[in-house]
Amino acid sequence: MKAFREVLAAIVCVLSLTVLEGRCESSGPQSRNPGFETYSLNGKWTVYNSNGSLSFSAEVPGCVHTGLLKQGLIQDPYYRFSDLAYRWISLDNWTYTTTFSVPAEIRSKQKVHLVFEGVDTVSSISLNGAALGETDNMFRRYDFDVQGLLREQGNVLAVALSSAVAYAADRSRAHSAYPVPPDCPPPVQKGECHVNFVRKAQSSFSWDWGPSFPTLGLWGGVRLEAYDSLRLPYLAATPARGGDPSQWSVEAELHCDAVAAAEGSVTLLLPELATQQTFQISLPAGQSRSTFVLPVNKSAEVELWWPRGHGSQRQYNMSVQVKLDGGFAIDTKTLVSFRTVELVQEPIAGSPGLSFYFRINGIPIFLKGSNWIPAHAFQDQVTPSILRNLLQSAADANMNTLRVWGGGVYEQEHFYSLCDQLGVMIWQDFMFACALYPTDSEFIETVRQEVTHQVRRLKSHPSVIVWSANNENEAAIASDWFGIPAPQRPRYVKDYVTLYVDNIREIVQKEDSSRPFLTSSPTNGAESEREGWVARDPYDPHFGDTHFYSYLQDCWDWRGFPRTRFASEYGFQSWPSFSTLQKVSAPEDWSYQSGFSSHRQHHDAGNQQMLEQAKLHFHLPDSPDPLQAYRDTLYLTQVMQAQCVKAQTEFYRRSRSEIIDGQGKTMGALYWQLNDIWQGPSWSSIEFGGKWKMLHYFARDFFAPVLPVGFLDQGLLLIYAVSDLTSDLTLRVVVTVYQWSSLKPVCTLASEAALVSGGSALPLFKQSVAALLAGCGNCTALTCVLTFHLEDSEGQRGPTNHLFLSSPREAQGLQMPNITTSIRQDGGTYEVTLRTSAVAPFLWLDVGDIPGRFDTNGFLMATESRTVRFYPWGPTSASQLSRALQVTSLRGVYRRQP
- Facing residues of 37 across strands? 32, 226
Measured from the Cβ of residue 573, the count of other Cβ atoms closer than 10 Å reads 25
Measured from the Cβ of residue 862, the count of other Cβ atoms closer than 10 Å reads 23
Determine the 3-state secondary structure of 288 from DSSP: strand
Exactly one of 37, 474, 569, 791 is catalytic; name it: 569
CA distances from 767 to 712, 713, 764, 774, 781 (A): 10, 10, 10, 12, 14
Return the DSSP state at 693.
Answer: P
- Facing residues of 670 across strands? 369
Whole-number Å distance between alpha carbons of 839 and 740: 6
Cα 106 to chain centroid distance, Å, stands at: 39
Contact 301, 201 (CB under 8 A): no
CA distances from 623 to 588, 638, 816, 894, 896 (A): 18, 18, 14, 7, 9
Determine the 3-state secondary structure of 54 from DSSP: coil
Whole-number Å distance between alpha carbons of 303 and 301: 6
95 closest CA partner among 129, 72, 123:
123
Sheet of 760-768: strands edge to edge? 706-713, 716-723, 760-768
Work out whether strand 401-404 and strand 367-372 pair parallel, antiparallel, or are unpaired. parallel
Identify whether 569 is a catalytic site residue: yes
Whole-number Å distance between alpha carbons of 389 and 691: 10
Whole-number Å distance between alpha carbons of 289 and 840: 64
Cα 647 to chain centroid distance, Å, stands at: 22
Whole-number Å distance between alpha carbons of 709 and 226: 61
CA distances from 25 to 97, 159, 248, 465 (A): 10, 16, 50, 43
Judge residue 411's burial from the number of C-beta atoms within 10 Å of its C-beta, 0-12 exposed, 13-18 middle, 19 or more buried: buried
Whole-number Å distance between alpha carbons of 373 and 386: 13
Exactly one of 37, 472, 527, 650 is catalytic; name it: 472
Whole-number Å distance between alpha carbons of 533 and 529: 4
Whole-number Å distance between alpha carbons of 402 and 464: 10
Q: Dihedral (C-alpha) 377, 379, 384, 389: value to the nearest 10 degrees?
A: 20
Return the DSSP state at 298.
Answer: T
Return the DSSP state at 316.
Answer: E
Measured from the Cβ of residue 680, the count of other Cβ atoms closer than 10 Å reads 25
CA distances from 346 to 257, 355, 358, 545, 602 (A): 43, 5, 12, 14, 40
Q: How many CA within 13 A on the CB side of residue 750?
A: 10
Determine the 3-state secondary structure of 770 from DSSP: helix
Helix%, strand%, coil% for the chain, nearest 5: 25, 35, 40
> Taking the alpha carbons of 305, 392, 556, 768 in that order, is the dihedral positive or negative?
positive
Identify whether 864 is a catalytic site residue: no
Contact 672, 371 (CB under 8 A): yes
Residues with a catalytic annotation lie at: 472, 569
